[in-house]
Amino acid sequence: MKNRTLLMIPGPIEFEPAVLAAMGAPTTSHVAADFIEAFGQSLERMRRVFMSENGQPFILAGSGTLAMDSVGANLVEPGDRVLVICTGYFGDRYAALLKRYGAQVDQVTAPVGGRPSLEDIEKALKQQKYKIVFVTHVDTSTGVIADVPGTATLAAQYGALSVVDGVCSIAGEELNMSAWGVDVALTASQKAIGVPPGLALFVVNPRAMQAFKGRKAPITNYYADWANWLPVMQAYEARQAGYFGTPAVNLVWALNVSLGQILEEGINARVERHRVLSNACKAAAAALRLNQVAIKPEWAANTMTALRYPPGITGAEFLPRVAKAGAYLAGGLHPDIKNEYFRIGHMGATKIGDVLATVGAIEFALIQCDYRFESGSGVSAASKAIFRT
């Protein structure tokens, strides 16, 4: 489409036409029979996408931050000890959020671009009894992916619940809640799930639901209280109307379309597609001599790529030139290195052609910034990586 700039940031992303069509359809009543069916299907499909055999899905009108907030409000009681595994800005943010609900928070950290080892996590679990272990699957500020199966296994071994912030991972990275023993996984609509911003999505497995039902302290967040929302979710899945707050009707319609597309593609195939896109982007970066924020290649996510600027180049001169060439990228977010790097999102509806076009735009901007490299080397490396995988 002419005058169309690709949105290649780590969310919001590009969306499939059928999803956008659902967004633009006439708004129905939230108690209309066809909407009740769409909401019920969405809940059932979420369970399959999250790979939770018997978890309780929730769909709330709000952002990914609401999903984080709701989980914290309902599982944390004043005085609870919780452990947060930090790989960037969003781990620190979750720690701050949990303190609002009276949690005693400890953090296991790593240098920027790194991730705590399982040994470090186990050391913390041996030293203190924790109720919950929180981990960010892919931290959008660094592009680092955490070891979720290993962390969840350790949490269960030491009697703690595991909560996974999958905002930048679910439907793009491998996640199997039931097989890995993850107690809660949360995300937002606008990333790999492939729906415009506005939905907080999470699935609560039985152990976490039991902890919620057994809590003694009152929940201090009215809107996010699961006691208000659980009957609504159960009603819609039973194909009956439920009400606490008006749902984001068109977003739910769009969610049902997107979840259907995800399941039609197949979870394993979708994860593999994201791996191919990621390999292409990172091969291009290597050819252009752009260093990743992630310290080790195996710590880099498949849904996004975080790259450091070459010496002497700033975001203020680089990013507008990339946009002029056809792709919007994101600047840095982590406060320690905010002006030193940029971020590329390649998830959801992103196609191979989108990645190649983005790499071409990056090459254009680098040339405009007087950075010396072999012209076309990034696009060539990306293409070769695609054919190798």
Verify that 227 and 84 share a domain, yes or no.
yes
Whose tokens are 């080397």? That residue is: 377
How many domains would you assign to the chain? Answer: 2
Q: Which residue, 265, 289, 322, sits at the end of a domain?
A: 265
- Residue 351 resides in a domain: yes
Q: Report the CATH number that the domain containing residue 151 is assigned in CATH.
A: 3.40.640.10
Inside any domain, residue 30? yes
Instruction: Identify which of 368, 285, 360 has the alpha carbon closest to the alpha carbon of residue 321.
Output: 368
At 387 the pLDDT is: 85
Inter-residue contact 362 to 382 (CB < 8 Å): no
Residues 151, 222: one domain?
yes
Q: Is residue 268 exposed (0-12), middle (13-18) or buried (19+ Cβ within 10 Å)?
A: exposed
Q: What is the pLDDT of residue 2?
A: 56
Q: Enumerate residue ranges in the chain where pLDDT < 70.
A: 1-2, 389
> What pLDDT shows up at residue 152?
98
Domain boundary among the residues 203, 234, 265 is at 265
Length of the chain: 389
* CA distance linking residue 327 with residue 294, whole number of Å: 23
Same domain, 212 and 259: yes
Rg, C-alpha atoms of the chain: 21
DSSP 106-138: EEE--STT----HHHHHHHHHHS--SEEEEESE
> Distance (Å, rounded) from C-alpha 103 to C-alpha 287?
46
**CA dist list (Å): 160 to 99, 157, 208, 225, 342:** 18, 8, 10, 22, 36
- Contact in structure between 52 and 205 (CB atoms under 8 Å): yes
Cα gap 39→375, rounded to integer Å: 50
Amino acid identity for residue 100 in this structure: R
How many Cβ atoms are within 10 Å of 122's Cβ, its own excluded?
A: 17
User: What Cα–Cα distance (Å) separates residue 127 from each residue in 102, 233, 258, 319, 344?
Assistant: 21, 39, 44, 46, 39
195 inside domain: yes
Q: What is the pLDDT of residue 4?
A: 84
pLDDT at 1: 46
Are both 322 and 383 inside the same structural domain?
A: yes
Asked if 306 and 243 sit in the same domain, the reply is no
Give one DSSP letter per residue of 220-275, joined into a string.
--STT-HHHHHHHHHHHHTT----SS---HHHHHHHHHHHHHHHHH-HHHHHHHHH
Structure tokens at 110: 């790593």
318 found inside a domain: yes
Assess whether 180 and 217 both reside in one domain: yes
Give the CATH number for residue 365.
3.90.1150.10
4 falls within a domain: no
- Residues 185 and 332 both lie in one domain: no
- In DSSP terms, 24 is beta-bridged to none
Domain-embedded: residue 6: no
| 251 and 354 inside one domain | no
Kindly tell me the burial class for residue 318, based on how many C-beta atoms sit within 10 Å of its own C-beta (0-12, 13-18, 19 or more): buried
Q: What is the pLDDT of residues 271-289, one digit of tens each?
A: 999 999 999 999 999 999 9
288 and 141, same structural domain?
no
Does residue 328 share a domain with residue 247? no
374 touches 337 (CB < 8 A) = no
Instruction: Supply the pTM of this predicted model.
Output: 0.97
Using DSSP's 3-state secondary structure scheme, residue 343 falls into strand
pLDDT of residue 3: 72
Question: What residue numbers bound the domain in which 334 lies?
Answer: 267-388
- Residue bearing tokens 């000890």: 81
| C-alpha distance from residue 56 to each of 71, 182, 210, 327, 366 (Å) | 13, 13, 11, 38, 48
Boundary-marking domain end, from 233, 265, 297:
265
Contact criterion met (CB below 8 Å) for 299 and 114: yes
Q: Could you tell me if 199 and 292 lie in one domain?
A: no
